[in-house]
Amino acid sequence: MKAFIVEKYKKNGDLRLIDTGEPTPLPGDVLIQIQATGVNPLDSKIRDGEFKLLLPYKPPFILGHEVAGTVVGVGANVRRFKIGDEVYARPRDHRIGTFAERIAVDEGDVAKKPKNVSWTDAASIPLVGLTAWQALVEIGKLGRGQKVFIQAGSGGVGTFAIQLAKHLGATVATTTSAKNIELVKSLGADVVIDYNTQDFETALSGYDLVLNSLDPKTLQKSLRVLKPGGLLISISGPPDPEFAKALGLNAFLKLVVRLLSRGVRKKARKLGVGYKFLFMQANGRQLGEITSLIESGAIKPVVDQVFPFEKTGDALAYVETGRARGKVVIEVR
């Protein structure tokens, strides 16, 4: 089969298209013929080597974290899926590789594709959908009448998280540029801050939850918009000791992580608020819940551009510009 690989860790390094062997499904795997795959900033960070201490992939490896496709094989222990099923997934860490024609994925990471969306729309959902779900539902426990500040509302995570937060009954504030104000309002944002002309720190206060996806300076400012007892969940770092423990890191790396997040944790304690780092985990059950929301019309995928498979490198470069409105998707078949 054909696949795009990372030959070595390198910032802005090229992906190489190769012919490689077919994936071999384990007893609990489904083999998926890939129709489309989503592209994310995480892909470029993995390629650049930013996560090689936490996720030590050994080059060469196939990149890609989202898949929508058809089941063409099942392992002996698989019970929930059969050949011909239309599915989607975010394969678990250490088993990524969706920039390819086929992939074997653990059954527990897979869900049925929403019936009312295309392959390209479906491929845009798993990573950002699970990130938003785990931040707002699982950790943040966001509910009716609460206030949430979601940064970068026109991005992949932002466009999904705004819709999920509104479905949960929350008041939503977000940041974006002037050209995307109408987009985020159409998704349900109640308060929109143009980051080029306004300072969200002075405009917002008394929030229950913040979903941080930006730089350390923005994170520090975001702590101050929370009410006492509020919580900031960051998907852009720094990682915290709880994450290091859950990942089973060695003593040295646990110390490194503790030092990396010491400043923000100290600031949060001083303000009487909480801080938590989220590194999204694959979860087919949660993805099934997201399927129901999409089929009901509560959430609609937002796709900016679709690239052909042979232009996978161009798709990744476009994501790295930071200008995408919603998601970028690659059509494999």
- pLDDT per residue as tens digits for the range 195-232: 999 999 999 999 999 999 999 999 999 999 999 999 99
Tokens of 25: 């499904």
pTM: 0.97
% of the chain beyond a pLDDT of 70: 100
Cα 157 versus chain centre, distance: 6
Tokens of 37: 């795959």
Cβ-based neighbour number of residue 245 at 10 Å? 11
Q: Is 303 helix (H, G, I), strand (E, B) or coil?
A: strand
Q: Is 16 helix (H, G, I), strand (E, B) or coil?
A: strand
The mean pLDDT of 117-146, rounded to a whole number, is: 98
Residue listed under structure tokens 């990396």: 260
β-partners of residue 67 are: 89
% of the chain beyond a pLDDT of 90: 98
Q: Are 127 and 43 in contact (CB under 8 A)?
A: no
Residues in the chain: 333
Residue ranges of domains in the chain: 2-123+301-331, 127-277
β-partners of residue 111 are: 88
Q: Topology of 2-123+301-331 in CATH?
A: Quinone Oxidoreductase; Chain A, domain 1 (3.90.180)
Q: Are 35 and 85 in contact (CB under 8 A)?
A: no
Detail the DSSP E strand segments found in 90-141. 102-106, 110-112
Q: Are 142 and 168 in contact (CB under 8 A)?
A: yes
Tokens of 39: 């592209």
pLDDT tens digits, one per residue of 277-318: 999 999 999 999 999 999 999 999 999 999 999 999 999 999
Say how far apart CA 305 and CA 326 lie, in whole Å.
9
Query: Is residue 53 over pLDDT 90?
Result: no
Query: Is residue 150 over pLDDT 90?
Result: yes
- Check residue 254 and give left, alpha or beta (phi > 0: left; psi -120 to 50: alpha): alpha
β-partners of residue 275 are: 232
Superfamily of domain 127-277: NAD(P)-binding Rossmann-like Domain (3.40.50.720)
Q: What is the DSSP string of 170-238?
A: -EEEEEE-GGGHHHHHHHT-SEEEETTT--HHHH--SEEEEEE-S-HHHHHHHHTTEEEEEEEEESSS-
Tell me the helices (H) and strands (E) count for the chain, helix number first: 11, 16
Q: Are 287 and 90 in contact (CB under 8 A)?
A: yes
The mean pLDDT of 91-109, rounded to a whole number, is: 98
Calculate the CA dihedral of residues 211, 214, 215, 217 and round it to 10 degrees.
-50
pLDDT tens digits, one per residue of 162-188: 999 999 999 999 999 999 999 999 999
Say how far apart CA 331 and CA 333 lie, in whole Å.
6
**pLDDT class of 54 with cuts at 50, 70, 90:** confident
**pLDDT class of 130 with cuts at 50, 70, 90:** very high
Q: Mean pLDDT score of the chain, rounded to an integer?
A: 97
Detail the DSSP E strand segments found in 86-144. 86-89, 102-106, 110-112
Say how far apart CA 35 and CA 223 lie, in whole Å.
41
DSSP one-letter code for 329: E
pLDDT of residue 333: 86
Cα 32 versus chain centre, distance: 21
